[in-house]
Structure 1
Amino acid sequence: MISSSHPAISTFHDYVKDRGILSSSNPGSTFTWTCNTAMSSFVIVFLILSMLLNTGVGVNFTDVFESSWAPDHIAVVGDQVTLSLDSASGCGFESKFKYLFGKASAQIKLVEGDSAGTVIAFYMSSEGANHDELDFEFLGNVSGEPYLVQTNVYVNGTGDREQRHGLWFDPTVDFHTYSFFWNHHSIIFSVDDIPIRVFKNKEKKGVPYPKNQGMGIYGSLWNADDWATQGGRVKTNWSHSPFVTTFRSFEIDACDLSGEDTIAAGAKCGKLAQFLWDKPAKKRLEKSKKRQFKMVQNKYLVYDYCKDTARFTQMPRECLY
């Protein structure tokens, strides 16, 4: 949001420069989608090998990610990327690699002020009609009203597994960490290392579970005022654009599938207990995390598809166990 205290700011570039997000020495260069040529080949090789060996590392944005649409609405400095939405376009980025199991996280600062109608997405997804997908979607609201965080799980192209949570802080004031933890046993969505959702593997009960398709990591900011805020009743106020969100401090500790076919991927990433995230201790939440999870479910869960009897004449199978 452009506040009255910044009357001279009229463009996304001016906004991020004013907030200190971009360097003033050569701000135009931050819009160029090129690798950092100053980085030595040794460091690049080290980064790639670290991911192949599944060592959790912070990443330089352009080494691992690239623009997926509207690069002119994206500004990059080091590991930090700022996305902008105006009446012309939103924007998004995607990872250059696919991953099967592991952990991925980012720190995100959400749109300030009136964000009604906007959606910020941080998600993992494979490709095709029968894709798997894990979503964080941050649903904007009018000034003074809280953000809602919607999570969803798609398996083989089928979603409709939404949960919505409030947050115990203002996500527009500072950065907070949002993460996916995905192994053979469960998928855990966490905020600042506090689990807010657990999707368990219930294949033995006939419930499909994502385990075969490598997923990329994505981020986007877009207009969804047909549904995002109060069911679409509140529309995006374009006089408050550009709407701006910033991602930083990406960490990826996952099995990299780059260049692997399906059989090789299964051999590389599918063996139980081969990696840290599949060790016996990771089969379930530890006691302290269980307490945190229960607290969040009791105090901050505002919608659960498993309890929506008006929506489903027959409840999804995973909700029955």
Structure 2
Amino acid sequence: MASSSSYTIVLLMLPLLLLASSLIPAYAGNFYQDFDTTFGDGRVRILNNGELLTLSLDKASGSGFKSKNEYLFGNIDMQLKLVPGNSAGTVTAYYLTSQGPTWDEIDFEFLGNLSGDPYILHTNVFTQGKGNREQQFYLWFDPTADFHTYSILWNPQQIIFSVDGTPIRKFKNMEANGVAYPKNQPMRIYSSLWNADDWATPGGLVKTDWSQAPFTASYRNFNANACVWSSGTSSCDSKAQSTNNGWLTQELDSTGEERLRWVQKNYMIYDYCSDSKRFPQGFPPECNNTQRN
């Protein structure tokens, strides 16, 4: 567990982070303009003049959407309110991915629960079609009671997953150690709500309670401060754009690193780099703590 002093510092900071995450930015995206439906027919609903989107899941189908734009690096925020009540068997996925057999991908996946149990936040990073880099967390709040901000900072140096401004995971560029890094393939933002009760509950033994359907997840306040990729060209190549892209070189400061350690000590429930049964011949090279931190 974290020391009492660092724990107190972070607890004092969390209300400020939650307040900041609840403020609606003037540049928030519009779901009509920024996204297309991928599946689900009428189960994808855009409301409030494009400011709110909902996905629904019933026994016949789930639903999903994707961004109209492709991005090659970005600082991307989305506020989500997850499926409430008995959501066991449902998965709400929010991620970046490219296409093809050697795709790159950066994942948030929210695994539903029996009423009263915590959601599991599942994260993963794929590079050139290779994943198996799972880290899982509980959250320090009820993600179904209100909207919270889930962010991906993806730049040439590292990927940082954050929740309400608090970093929970960092994946560094370790190409020098033979670890592939997603830097050449543009990715779109995708999200979906679907049934995965064959694996997303303990042993796949708990099945989705369809009497609770339709299950609904809600989205708002999308913002992508990002390099839009079009016809082989990045918007960040222009001088006008480059002056507003400090996030392209952003790293965690000492406060961010302390918050990251606090989350990982208190809320991480699985780290592939600690699973010796899975890697009896030795951990992947990116698990080297000297390089990882």
TM-score by length of 1: 0.77
Q: 1:79 Cα deviation (Å)?
A: 1.9
Q: 1:300 Cα deviation (Å)?
A: 0.1
Q: Does 1:223 align with 2:190?
A: no
Which of 275, 278, 290 in structure 2 is aligned with 1:308?
A: 275
**Deviation string for 1:219-264 (max 9, x for gaps)?**
1100000111113121111111111110111011000002x22xx4
Specify whether residues 240 and 315 from structure 1 end up closer, same or farther in structure 2 by C-alpha distance, changes over 3 A only.
same
Which of 132, 139, 164 in structure 2 is aligned with 1:167?
A: 139
Q: Does 1:97 align with 2:65?
A: no
Specify whether residues 185 and 245 from structure 1 end up closer, same or farther in structure 2 by C-alpha distance, changes over 3 A only.
same
Q: Distance in 1 between matches of 2:76 and 2:262?
A: 24
1:8-19 matches, within 5 Å, as none
Over the residues paired in the alignment, what is the CA RMSD in angstroms? 1.8
Q: 1:179 Cα deviation (Å)?
A: 0.6
Q: Distance in 2 between matches of 1:132 and 1:307?
A: 23
Which of 268, 279, 298 in structure 1 is aligned with 2:237?
A: 268
Q: Distance in 1 between matches of 2:153 and 2:68?
A: 19
Q: Distance in 1 between matches of 2:218 and 2:74?
A: 24
Q: Distance in 2 between matches of 1:208 and 1:268?
A: 24
Alignment match, 1:30:
none
Secondary structure (helix, strand or coil) at the match of 1:129 reads: coil
**Deviation string for 1:87-112 (max 9, x for gaps)?**
00000000011001111111000001
Q: Distance in 2 between matches of 1:131 and 1:198?
A: 20
Q: 1:265 Cα deviation (Å)?
A: 4.3
**What is the percentage of aligned positions where both structures have the same residue?**
51
Secondary structure (helix, strand or coil) at the match of 1:102 reads: strand
Which of 253, 257, 271 in structure 2 is aligned with 1:286?
A: 253
Specify whether residues 175 and 267 from structure 1 end up closer, same or farther in structure 2 by C-alpha distance, changes over 3 A only.
closer
1:38-49 matches, within 5 Å, as none
Q: 1:213 Cα deviation (Å)?
A: 0.6
Alignment match, 2:4:
none
Q: Distance in 2 between matches of 1:62 and 1:318?
A: 39
Which of 58, 75, 100 in structure 2 is aligned with 1:128?
A: 100
Q: Distance in 2 between matches of 1:266 and 1:176?
A: 29
Alignment match, 1:179:
151
Q: 1:267 Cα deviation (Å)?
A: 8.5
What stretches of structure 1 move > 6 A for 4+ residues in a row? none
Letter in 1 for 2:32: T
Q: 1:57 Cα deviation (Å)?
A: 2.9
Q: Is the 8 A contact 1:57 1:252 kept in 2?
A: no
Q: 1:276 Cα deviation (Å)?
A: 1.6
Secondary structure (helix, strand or coil) at the match of 1:57 reads: coil
Alignment match, 1:65:
35
Which of 234, 240, 253 in structure 1 is aligned with 2:212?
A: 240
User: Across the two proteins, how many residue pairs are aligned to each other?
Assistant: 258
Q: Is the 8 A contact 2:229 2:235 kept in 1?
A: no
Letter in 1 for 2:91: V
Q: Is the 8 A contact 2:74 2:154 kept in 1?
A: yes
Q: Distance in 2 between matches of 1:316 and 1:236?
A: 35
Q: Does 1:319 align with 2:291?
A: no
Letter in 2 for 1:300: Y
Q: Distance in 1 between matches of 2:220 and 2:276?
A: 39
Alignment match, 2:247:
277
Secondary structure (helix, strand or coil) at the match of 2:65 reads: strand
Q: Does 1:199 align with 2:166?
A: no
Alignment match, 1:140:
112
Specify whether residues 112 and 266 from structure 1 end up closer, same or farther in structure 2 by C-alpha distance, changes over 3 A only.
closer
Q: Is the 8 A contact 2:105 2:127 kept in 1?
A: yes
Q: Is the 8 A contact 1:212 1:266 kept in 2?
A: no
Q: For structure 1, which runs of at least 5 residues remain unmatched after alignment?
A: 1-55
Letter in 1 for 2:74: G
Q: For structure 2, which runs of at least 5 residues remain unmatched after alignment?
A: 1-25
Letter in 1 for 2:286: E
Letter in 1 for 2:61: S
Which of 179, 184, 188 in structure 2 is aligned with 1:212?
A: 184
Q: Does 1:87 align with 2:55?
A: no
Secondary structure (helix, strand or coil) at the match of 1:257 reads: strand
Q: Distance in 1 between matches of 2:189 and 2:139?
A: 23
Which of 94, 107, 111 in structure 1 is aligned with 2:79?
A: 107
Q: Is the 8 A contact 1:57 1:253 kept in 2?
A: no
Q: Distance in 2 between matches of 1:220 and 1:248?
A: 15
Specify whether residues 286 and 311 from structure 1 end up closer, same or farther in structure 2 by C-alpha distance, changes over 3 A only.
same
